[in-house]
């Protein structure tokens, strides 16, 4: 869980920062998108490195989902009878929404790939023109709203996940323990804020 | 003060259970929670009814025998308090309380509020022995232990094995208990000879029992009557991982023949 989570975390951070090029105009982001395809050239053929990265990510997603599913089943079986009343004392919203939030994020990722990688259901999809795909895509209000909601969920998921991985991997030391929550909060906010800013900017007409 | 209790009554391990309502019109605020139940039980006995079965022993918060859910919180809402040390002055007149046993597949209900915590004993047993010198007692300070280490080891050792952590955990996980038991020895020089096999075996036993899987909710730490910290779970995980890599290295060094 933690190891695949780190891989996926690295990806969402990179993905968010890469997309900030949206604010530098059509050329910057389209060149960047093209560069992702030509990475590794001329040693490697076009798209080769991209597919290596995709394979790693797909494997990480697989491991993440599989461990989530097995541990969830184990935990659901472990209660053994229902509590008439159960009152949370310390578990925060982020911790309590890890599982359903995760499901929402998985559905979102599937939609996102269909929408902006394959162009399925996209009104005006042009494979090489990432900029206009994003802008046209987010001009559909319900889609933009879904992107925002999913990224807020991602923020919560990252917050609990980032903090948890220190526990799971045993990275625990009085000298940095108080930094773990700060680190988790900071990165969760940066990623969520960055991602949510794209649909907002399009809807507000700042990016068109 | 007046209290309404809804108590889980279950005649035996496989009997069906249900919540039964009892009215207590005259609870003294000086009673402990268990004393309040004693009074109720005396009345039930006088009426010829079965008294409510609950576990208890020391009644001073040190043995870990007592414990049940009070309105959805293990040992009730007062932090760092066992039910035997919980006083009625913390409750409001007219309050309704729901008493349920620890619910965990690993802790089957024996009767009413009493559960079988044998799974904890098996985890402790899996840890095995600690090598100590026998014979005459050695000098008090023959083995120097840094104050800071002794303090942390003592924090881990304060776990009384009550099971509240498992009962409160939405996952029904027993990581906090196991981590406390692993760490109290791993932090001391006396615990070093068997340190790695201990963590390996106790975690293996933890996984064999019907407990759930820890996702760091932090509920355990919040209800633990001894305030055992989540940090011990990280320590246990670290020792467990270090042991995995240590075993790998060694089996490479011996050509895999082990
Ligand atoms: S860790 Fe705390 S709650 Fe869990 S068994 Fe020990 S004393 Fe009880
Ligand atoms: S009876 Fe011993 S801790 Fe409560």
Q: What is this structure's pTM? A: 0.94
Domain for residue A67, yes or no? Answer: yes
Residue pLDDT, tens place only, A61-86 = 999 999 999 999 999 999 988 999 99
Least Cα distance to B233 among B191, B161, B188, B180 occurs for B180
What pairs with residue B96 in β-bridges?
Answer: B4
Which residue's CA is the nearest one to ligand 1's atom 8?
B162
Q: Read off the tokens for A29.
A: 């982001």
Residues 6+ away with beta carbon under 8 Å from B171: A71, A75, A78, B212, B213, B214, B215, B217
Residue contact A75–B213, C-beta within 8 A: yes
Tokens of A85: 């009343």
List chain A pLDDT tens, one digit each, 208 residues.
Answer: 899 999 999 999 999 999 999 999 999 999 999 999 999 888 999 999 999 999 999 999 999 999 999 999 999 999 988 999 999 999 999 999 999 999 999 999 999 999 999 998 898 899 889 999 999 999 999 999 999 999 999 999 999 999 999 999 998 888 888 899 999 999 999 999 999 999 999 999 999 8
Give pLDDT, residue A139: 94
Residue B9's SS3 state is strand
Is pLDDT at B135 greater than 50 in this prediction?
yes
Best A3, A169, A172 member to test B by mutation, with max B CBs in 10 Å, is A172
pLDDT the model gives residue A98: 96
Beta bridge partners of B100: B69
Of all protein residues, the one whose alpha carbon is nearest to atom 1 of ligand 1 is: B177
| A79 domain residue, yes or no | no
CB A58 within 8 A of CB B83: no
Dist. CA B87 → ligand 2 center (Å): 13
Tokens 């402790």 locate to B124
Cβ distance B100 to A98 less than 8 Å, yes or no, reads: no
Q: How many A/B residue pairs have CB atoms within 8 Å?
A: 121
Task: Supply the pLDDT for residue A81.
Answer: 85
Nearest-by-CA chain B residue for A71: B213
State mean pLDDT over B135-145: 86
Indicate whether A85 belongs to any domain.
Answer: no
Please indicate, yes or no, if residue A208 is contained in any of the structural domains. Answer: no
Residue in A with minimal Cα distance to B19? A84
- Distance of alpha carbon A138 from alpha carbon A203, whole angstroms: 7
Residue A91 neighbours by CB under 8 Å, 6+ apart: B170, B217, B218, B219
Query: If you measure CA to CA, which chain A residue comes closest to B77?
Result: A89
Of residues B151 and B249, which shows the higher confidence score?
Answer: B151
Taking each helix axis from N to C end, the angle separating A177-203 and A130-138, rounded to the nearest 10 degrees, works out to 80
Q: How far apart are CA A117 and CA B65, in angstroms?
A: 59
pLDDT digits (tens, 9 = 90+) for B84-132: 999 999 999 999 999 999 999 999 999 999 999 999 999 999 999 988 8
CA A100 vs CA A4, A5, A77, B56: distances in Å: 18, 16, 18, 39
CB distance A78–B172 less than 8 Å? yes
Q: Least CB-CB distance to A79: which of B72, B104, B237?
A: B104
The predicted structure's pLDDT at residue B255: 66
Dihedrals phi, psi of A145, to nearest 5 degrees = -65, -40
Question: What's the rounded mean pLDDT across residues B137-141?
Answer: 84
* Helix segments in B14-157, DSSP class H: 33-46, 118-127, 147-157
Choose among B107, B172, B234: nearest Cβ to A171: B234
3-class secondary structure per residue, A143-163: HHHHHHHHHHHHHHHHHHHHH
Neighbours of A24 (CB within 10 A): 12
DSSP string, A57-92: HHHHHHHHHHHHHHHHHHHHHHS-S--S----SS--
Among the partner-chain residues A81, A90, A163, the one whose CB lies closest to the CB of B221 is A90
A78 occurs within a structural domain? no
- Name the residue range of residue A105's domain: 2-71+91-203
Measure B47 CA to ligand 2 centroid, in angstroms.
28
Number of domains, chain A: 1
Query: Chain B within 8 Å of A175 (Cβ-Cβ)?
Result: no
| Percentage above 70 pLDDT, chain B | 98
Shortest-distance ligand to the CA of residue B65: 2
- pLDDT band for B258, please (50, 70, 90 cuts): very low
Query: Which residues fall within 8 angstroms of residue B35, CB to CB, at 6 or more apart?
Result: none
Give the orientation angle of helix A141-168 with respect to helix A177-203, to 10 degrees.
170
Cβ-proximal residues to A155 (8 Å cutoff; 6+ apart), any chain = A188, A189, A191, A192, A193
pLDDT tens track for A36-63: 999 988 899 999 999 999 999 999 999 9
Residue with tokens 């933890």, as numbered in its chain: B206
- Could you give the domains of chain B? 3-110 (3.10.20.30), 117-244 (1.10.1060.10)
- B103/A74 Cβ within 8 A: no
Q: For residues A199 and A138, what is the distance between their CA atoms, to the nearest angstrom?
A: 6
ipTM of the complex: 0.91
How far, CA to CA in Å, does B155 sit from each of A83, A159, B165, B237? 30, 28, 16, 18
The DSSP 8-state label assigned to residue A45 in this structure reads -
Give a yes or no: residue A16 inside a domain. yes
| Residue in the structure block whose two tokens are 């005396």 | B42
CA atoms within 13 A on the CB side of A158: 26
Average pLDDT, chain B: 95
Q: How confident is the model at residue B89, as a pLDDT?
A: 97
Alpha carbon distance B102, B109 (integer Å): 8
User: Residues with Cβ < 8 Å from B225, sequence gap 6 or more?
Assistant: B61, B75, B80, B81, B82, B85, B160, B162, B164
A66: in domain: yes
Token pair, residue B88, equals 């009625």
| In-domain check, residue A76 | no
């Amino acid at each position: 869980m933690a190891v695949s989570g780190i891989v996926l975390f690295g990806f969402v951070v990179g993905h968010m920062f890469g997309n900030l090029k949206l604010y530098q105009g059509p050329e910057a982001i389209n060149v960047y998108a093209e560069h992702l395809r030509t990475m590794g050239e001329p040693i490697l053929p076009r798209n080769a490195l991209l597919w290596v990265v995709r394979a790693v990510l797909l494997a990480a997603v697989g491991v993440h989902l599989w461990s989530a599913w097995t541990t969830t089943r184990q935990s659901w079986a472990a209660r053994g009878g229902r509590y008439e009343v159960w009152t949370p004392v310390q578990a925060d919203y982020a911790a309590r929404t890890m599982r359903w939030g995760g499901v929402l994020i998985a559905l979102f990722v599937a939609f996102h790939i269909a929408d902006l990688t394959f162009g399925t259901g996209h009104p005006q999809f042009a494979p090489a023109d990432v900029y206009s795909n994003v802008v046209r895509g987010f001009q559909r209000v319900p889609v933009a709203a879904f992107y925002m909601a999913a990224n807020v969920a991602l923020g919560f998921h990252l917050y609990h996940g980032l903090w948890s991985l220190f526990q799971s991997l045993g990275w625990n030391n009085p000298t940095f323990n108080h930094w773990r929550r700060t680190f988790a909060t900071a990165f969760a906010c940066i990623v969520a804020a960055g991602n949510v800013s794209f649909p907002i900017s399009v809807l507000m007409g700042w990016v068109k | 003060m007046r209290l309404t209790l809804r108590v889980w009554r279950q005649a035996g391990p496989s009997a069906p259970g249900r919540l039964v309502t009892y009215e207590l019109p005259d609870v003294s605020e000086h009673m402990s929670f268990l004393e309040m139940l004693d009074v109720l039980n005396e009345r039930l006995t006088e009426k010829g009814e079965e008294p409510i079965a609950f576990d208890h022993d020391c009644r001073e918060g040190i043995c870990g025998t007592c414990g049940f859910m009070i309105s959805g919180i293990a040992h009730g809402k007062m932090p760092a308090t066992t039910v035997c040390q919980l006083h009625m002055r913390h409750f409001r007149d007219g309050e309704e309380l729901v008493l349920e046993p620890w619910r965990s597949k690993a802790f089957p209900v024996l009767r009413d509020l009493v559960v079988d915590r044998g799974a904890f004993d098996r985890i402790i047993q899996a840890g095995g022995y600690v090598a100590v010198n026998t014979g005459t007692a050695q000098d008090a300070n023959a083995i120097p232990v840094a104050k800071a280490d002794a303090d942390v080891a003592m924090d881990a050792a304060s776990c009384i094995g009550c099971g509240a952590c498992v009962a409160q955990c939405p996952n029904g996980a027993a990581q906090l208990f196991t981590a406390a038991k692993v760490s109290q020895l791993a932090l001391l020089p006396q615990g070093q000879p068997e340190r790695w096999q201990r963590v390996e075996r106790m975690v293996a036993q933890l996984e064999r029992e019907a407990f759930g899987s820890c996702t760091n909710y932090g509920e355990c730490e919040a209800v633990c009557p001894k305030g055992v910290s989540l940090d011990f779970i990280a320590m246990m995980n670290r020792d467990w991982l270090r042991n995995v890599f240590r075993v790998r290295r060694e089996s490479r060094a011996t050509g895999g023949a082990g």
